[in-house]
Amino acid sequence: MSQDNLFNSVLEINNATADDLFRIYTAASMSNSADKSSRFIFPKYRKDYSKTSSKTELRISEQEARLLYCFNLNNNKYKYLYSIETPTDKLYNFARKKRTGNNDESNRGGRSALSDLSIYDSSLDNKLVNVEFKARNPTQESYDKDIEKLILEGVCGNWFHLLKNTDNGTIKSLNFKFKSALNKVILEKGFNENKDLWILFFIVILEGNVIKHKELRFSQLSDKGYIEKLFSENDDWETQNITKFI
């Protein structure tokens, strides 16, 4: 399979997962009911009786996104195999502070980390894509660790990010964190300048039914201005509003 065909298939799976998330969120938000086609729901937080509002808040997390992503991978049109919580091929050390002693993992070059989900072809051993899921807007450290894995594992990547809503600073904040993480790993760890490798960055915004995506090409990473331009302060993501989901 060509990398272009693989990219298009992964983008299609991302879009289908976004549609499912929109459908389920809309059903819960508008009618406090479940989407009948999937029977899958967002759970609710415990009701806080100290607040006057009788409405309980939905728990929005990367777990719902990952499960629905798996549902779409199970579509018979795709022949991919997949695994979750996949041990990485390379060793990583994500400890904030160096430890001392004979068991210090930093002295041994780290240990295997985990990719949220990995996609394979039918051979089982040929890993094609690693997928990392995020929800909300976590700390820079969370971006740094997962971007490092996506860059260094030597296969294509997919960053799937779920947001309930956004304000004027949300995409700017995400762009800054992506850019910081990428510059850090490229400066400190290097990268595989394989012209065929890519990372699909995909954002789902539930309120407003918005999807945004852009593609990073490994062949361009040696250009110092590439990351700055790709994740500038401007919201230049390819954006689409989805309406046919209920």
Mean pLDDT by 10 residues, the chain (246 residues): 88 96 88 74 80 75 96 91 97 67 53 97 92 97 97 96 96 97 92 87 96 96 93 93 67
pLDDT score at 3: 84
The pTM of this model reads 0.90
pLDDT in the model for residue 150: 97
Which of these, 39, 9, 65, lies nearest to 204 by C-alpha position? 65
From residue 216, alpha-carbon distances to 72, 95, 213, 240 in Å are 23, 27, 10, 19
Q: What is the reported pLDDT for 122?
A: 87
Hey, what amino acid is at 66? Answer: R
CB 82 within 8 A of CB 119: yes
pLDDT at 107: 45
Given this model, what pLDDT does residue 97 score?
42
Element (H, E) at 160: strand 156-163
Q: CB of 172 within 8 A of CB of 233?
A: yes
pLDDT of residue 53: 58
* Local structure of 156: helix, strand or coil: strand
Assigned token pair, 125: 């051993």
**Terminal-to-terminal C-alpha distance of the chain:** 34
